[in-house]
Amino acid sequence: MSKTYAKLREVTIGYDLPKSWLDKLQVSKLTVSLVARNLIYFYKDKNFRDVDLDQYNYGTSSTGLQSPTTRRYGFNINVVF
């Protein structure tokens, strides 16, 4: 079984709010970001499209294959006073 694959593990897009908006709040920096994890998973053999090859242990007689980790979305807020 070939372990050749590619995946997009994490994407983060952030925005620093302008300093003029933060002066009233007595905050020196505020960053808001969107995070997405496990977005895309490419594997040549379609029979194994639901298997996370990162988890595959080919050195033992038992495979222990696991399903890919779930796709997740979230946001972060980072405040510096």
The answer to whether residues 27 and 80 touch, using CB atoms and an 8 Å cutoff, is yes
The H or E element that residue 21 is part of is helix 19-22
Task: Give CA–CA dist 45/50, Å, rounded.
Answer: 11
Write down the pTM of the prediction: 0.64
Structure tokens at 12: 């983060």
> What SS3 class is residue 19?
helix
CB proximity list for 52: less than 8 A, separation 6 or greater:
41, 65, 66, 67, 68, 69
pLDDT single digits (tens) 3-48: 677 888 899 999 999 999 898 888 999 999 999 998 887 777 776 6
